């Protein structure tokens, strides 16, 4: 996979170094175009060292040292073009199809998806002309956007215009490399649950599980990158920036999750229940922390709502309901029983007793079981890749 990165003139250019390094470590080939403005913040030597390729500048563009025009070669080479930071100047040129440097000429000479990461002062971002250019560019399906975000800017102002963090841009890059820019969830509303619920028996002690929410977050990211409108109901969740297109609904207990899932269910087209919801809760709750000497030797338990079973009963014909089953040993038999009993359209069953898989891992593996009898194996891969494979097969 080959990613071409265009670096514009802005202090946020330093963030791109982390992106280049991370892509290289992931086995993705990276080439970099530095604009004249970008060179004021990062040297060609820096990006060449990180990417293991020469850095391309306007000096190269205007020199007859290539067998074919440089912008043509680079445009044909790239599977994905990332422009970060995207300045107001380059935005205006792209909106009107202008090309007066290597970066903008390469844009016109390429056909791959383009990911934009804008960065500029808040007043600049809010200008009518800049907004017009942004809206114009947004009408072109080639262009995808990460950010801008709200935060502290180089001008010491706090506001909109901060470039998205690498932790948000990198997943979008991986998504676009998988989908090639496909937006098959545009107009679809996706409801996802994730994380492990906590059932407290006093203010500091609870019944829980090791779920971290990574799989559900990956599903939400993948669905958002494919154009869906996403609601993510979560308990535990990784401490990373959440895409602005994902509506985040934090919960704690199974009852909290039950209430929120019901609230958003009727408006959703695709529902994925990837949360590790507790099966039981303590039968009693103490509003005060119990002294150690008063802790019960036997904990009385009470049932909690079976959220996905209830959703299966009220599901409408246009809705798809997908469950998850975290299993040890035989992962197929109990998942098939759950698929039928809870009236699901499909279930993703994954082992949690294998290395580099399941709770807390950045990678996973699974088998998708569909109600029509189809079985699809997902070999070990990153959770975001697994999320895309799930979406490829169930929608």
Contacts of 152 (CB under 8 A, 6+ apart): 158, 162
3-state helix, strand, coil in the chain (%, to 5): 35, 25, 40
- From the candidates 17, 112, 155, 381, which is the catalytic residue? 155
Q: How far is CA 175 from the centre of its chain?
A: 8
**Torsion over CA: 246, 252, 256, 258 (sign):** positive
Identify whether 155 is a catalytic site residue: yes
C-alpha 235/C-alpha 32 separation (Å) is 39
Side-chain half-sphere CA neighbours of 305 within 13 A: 16
Helix (H, G, I), strand (E, B) or coil at 384: helix
Instruction: Locate 247 and state its tokens.
Output: 């509506």
> CA-CA distance, 73 to 171, in Å (whole number)?
26
Q: b/e for 363-381, b at 16 or more Cβ within 10 A?
A: ebbbbbbbeeeeebebeee
Residue 252 CA to residue 392 CA, distance in Å, equals 31
Q: Which residues are catalytic?
A: 155
């Amino acid at each position: 996979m080959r990613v071409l990165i265009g670096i514009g003139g802005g202090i946020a250019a330093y963030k791109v170094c982390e992106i280049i390094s991370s892509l290289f470590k992931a086995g993705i080939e990276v080439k970099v175009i530095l604009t004249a403005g970008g060179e004021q913040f990062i040297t060609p030597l820096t990006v060449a060292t990180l990417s293991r390729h020469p850095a391309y500048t306007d000096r190269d563009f205007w020199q007859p040292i290539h067998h074919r025009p440089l912008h043509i070669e680079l445009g044909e080479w790239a599977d994905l073009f990332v422009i970060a930071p995207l300045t107001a100047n380059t935005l205006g040129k792209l909106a009107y199809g202008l090309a007066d440097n290597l970066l903008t000429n390469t844009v016109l000479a390429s056909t791959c998806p383009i990911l934009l990461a804008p960065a500029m002062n808040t007043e600049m971002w809010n200008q009518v002309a800049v907004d017009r250019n942004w809206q114009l560019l947004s009408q072109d399906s080639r262009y995808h956007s990460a950010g801008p975000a709200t935060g502290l800017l180089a001008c010491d102002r706090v506001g909109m215009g901060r470039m998205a963090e690498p932790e948000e841009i990198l997943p979008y890059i991986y998504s676009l490399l998988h989908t090639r820019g496909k937006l098959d969830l545009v107009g679809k509303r996706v409801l996802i649950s994730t994380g492990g619920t906590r059932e407290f028996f006093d203010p500091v002690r609870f019944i829980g599980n090791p779920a971290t929410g990574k799989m559900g977050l990956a599903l939400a990211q993948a669905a958002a990158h494919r154009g869906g409108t996403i609601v993510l109901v979560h308990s535990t969740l990784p401490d990373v920036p959440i895409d602005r297109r994902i509506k985040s609904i934090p919960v704690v207990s199974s009852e909290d999750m039950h209430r929120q899932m019901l609230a958003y269910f009727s408006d959703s087209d695709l529902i994925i229940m990837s949360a590790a919801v507790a099966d039981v809760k303590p039968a009693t709750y103490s509003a005060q922390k119990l002294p150690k000497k008063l802790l019960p030797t036997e904990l009385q338990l009470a049932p909690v709502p079976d959220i996905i079973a209830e959703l299966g009963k009220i599901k409408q014909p246009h809705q798809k309901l997908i469950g998850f089953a975290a299993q040890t040993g035989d992962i197929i038999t109990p998942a098939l029983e759950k698929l039928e009993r809870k009236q699901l359209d499909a279930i993703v069953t994954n082992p949690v007793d294998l290395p580099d898989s399941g709770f807390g891992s950045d990678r996973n593996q699974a088998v998708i079981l569909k109600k029509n009898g189809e079985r699809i194996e997902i070999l070990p891969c990153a959770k975001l890749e697994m999320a895309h494979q799930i979406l490829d097969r169930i929608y």
